[in-house]
Structure 1
Amino acid sequence: MSGGEWRDAWSAALDELELDVASIEAMLEDEHRHAEHPPADIWKPPTELGALPLELRPRADEILTRQLKAAEEIARRMTATRQQMTMTTKIETGEAVKRPVYVDRAM
């Protein structure tokens, strides 16, 4: 593979990865859209390209930063969902509602 072909192949691989990250970011923005249209293809890293060209490193780093930010947001939302489910369970069982020990009849 020549230098130009190698760079173009890496650029195409980064294009695919960036589309994958954009899809996750869009899902986080609009949860209902994702439920109706789940992702069709999950990005798979290329195995035959060799080392990343140096001039593409800033772009790859920016994509990685976006991936990490999206992963953190997914983890945050999973935690919030788990907490909400716990509270819902307590409400349904009456565990969250504290029963009075006595009734004040002075009023």
Structure 2
Amino acid sequence: MQAFNSAHNGQRVVIEGAFGLLKGRFRRLLHIDVLTIPQAVDTVLGACVLHNIAQRASDQLNDDEALPDSGTDVSPPDPLQGHDTPAPATALRDAVALSL
């Protein structure tokens, strides 16, 4: 269980860093309202494609550009904070953890 939680947390940090980079480069992402999951996928995919094109064109991101405006929290609130995990989900998580 500890190995699963550690691996999960490590991947979460990487993903949050990637979203922070995209939100720093494309500040419009800080103020966009995405109403559906497919729309969110298209928005993130588009930002990733534009970022990769810019990198291939040697468009270097300055350190101060990579960070959002001070005082702006780019991480979403944890939707599961304060909620109990349903028993089937807990059993599945434990099974995955044991397989690691």
Q: Does the pair score TM above 0.5? A: no
When normalised by structure 1's length, the TM-score is 0.30
| Rg (Cα) greater in structure | 1
Q: Does 1 or 2 have the higher relative contact order (CA < 8 Å, sep 6+)? A: 2
When normalised by structure 2's length, the TM-score is 0.32
